Structure 1
């Protein structure tokens, strides 16, 4: 099963009041294994960057000034995410901004039936605990030492590891490697047993002589526990 783990960075908290998406990062997973395929873009929001938002992700208006508008990259994004489930932490926020940007450029919104919210999964699995991405990384031993600021692709990479743990851990299956060879899409490799000649199963029942020796040994015991 193909899934897309994604995260966004924005100019603020509410697309309805004029905030815009400025970064999106997507990770492709197949059967809970990252394939190595990603989609990552920065966007020019055509507006200022509030200082409080810049403190979170470090993306200034000057840095974003020469970046493409969302509409310029929307086709590539839609091709990457396809029709597969989309996984995000506090997914209502990311879906809200994604669908707002899609609506602004005349694209069909992504249905919430495709939404998988790891925040909801974490609350069900660990009620009463902290459920931030940082807290979940600490709980599951996911290294985030290189995360000094929020970043869409970096956070999606961390979330992909957390998602695996939330949905069964690293032993969820035998698909432990990724095949990136050939012209087709990357896909997990599967264990394939070697072929060859197989010996017929040997008999495991005791022979009459072995049974006789066993009986003689039992009869020789004077104080067997099962007879006391």
Structure 2
């Protein structure tokens, strides 16, 4: 079973090392690339005020957070939820850094000791779309994910959008994985993986007519190039 958690946070500022804290956690669960509906959404009392710049981004007031639980009160719930999963995060260094700082403050080991792995969709996007903007909004536009409801940043909404973006970015990776039936009462899906090594693919040779037609096209191209076509150098390689 492949269990993935798409994860996002909102914070009081940009630097965990300078004392900024997590104020919101949003996480979306996928099992075998299907949404389970078992999501996690928490607001946290950071025990400090948010910077004005951060407030403009997330819009979560200091007053709203005063009666919310502190991270120490929910740490077990968070770790139990994340345990053993692949974390999928956009700009993972930021969220992992904040999460590790919160865990350090309550005497717990870093998050990579809890989860199976961490996948950074920002690094994925930079490889797939070099030289282009790869913010979450830019990826939503490029991959046709509807983000019209995103007027402010919110951890759960951003995690939901990132989940759709990730599915679109990795579409086709599991093209040879098929459901072998409907979900059972536990919500699990039986999956069959096809081993392609069991197939012998036929080799279809070109007919004389096809070879002749192909040669004719090459001669026309060679004539247009004044006899300088580079493939002529490889027609009769020296043994």
Question: Is the shorter-chain TM-score for this pair beyond 0.5, marking a shared fold?
Answer: yes
Q: Which residue in the other structure is 1:64 paired with?
A: 65
Where does residue 137 of structure 1 map in the other structure?
140
Please say if 1:45 is aligned against 2:46. Answer: yes
**Secondary structure in 2 aligned to 1:154?**
helix
SS at match of 1:134: helix
**8 Å contact kept, 1:23–1:41:** yes
| 1:135-189 Cα distance to aligned partner (Å, 9 max, x none) | 10011110111111000000000000111111125974545x984x74x4x4347
Corresponding position of 1:5: 6
Instruction: Give distance in 2, aligned partners of 1:59 and 1:170.
Output: 38
CA RMSD of aligned residues (A): 2.3
Aligned residue in 2 for 1:118: 121
Match of 1:128 among 127, 131, 144: 131
Larger deviation, residues 63-72 vs 25-34: 25-34
The offset of 1:51, in angstroms, is: 1.4
The CA distance in 1 between the partners of 2:23 and 2:169, in whole Å, is 28
5+ long unaligned stretches in structure 1: 192-228
Once the two structures are TM-superposed, the CA of residue 82 in structure 1 deviates from its matched residue by: 1.0
CA distance in 2 between counterparts of 1:3 and 1:85 reads: 5
- The TM-score with structure 1 as length reference comes to 0.76
User: Is the contact made by 1:20 and 1:101 (CA closer than 8 Å) also made in structure 2?
Assistant: yes
Structure 2 residue 165 is the aligned partner of structure 1 residue 162? yes
The structural deviation recorded for 1:40 is 0.8
Normalised to the residue count of structure 2, the TM-score between the two structures is: 0.73
Counterparts of 1:155 and 1:67, CA distance in 2: 21
Alpha-carbon spacing, 1:14–1:178, altered in 2? closer, same or farther (3 Å): farther
Q: Show structure 2 runs of 5+ residues with no match.
A: 193-239
CA distance in 2, matches of 1:129, 1:8: 24
1:1-228 to 2 correspondences below 5 Å: 1-111=2-112, 114-168=117-171, 172=175, 173-175=177-179, 179=183, 182=185, 184=186, 186-188=187-189
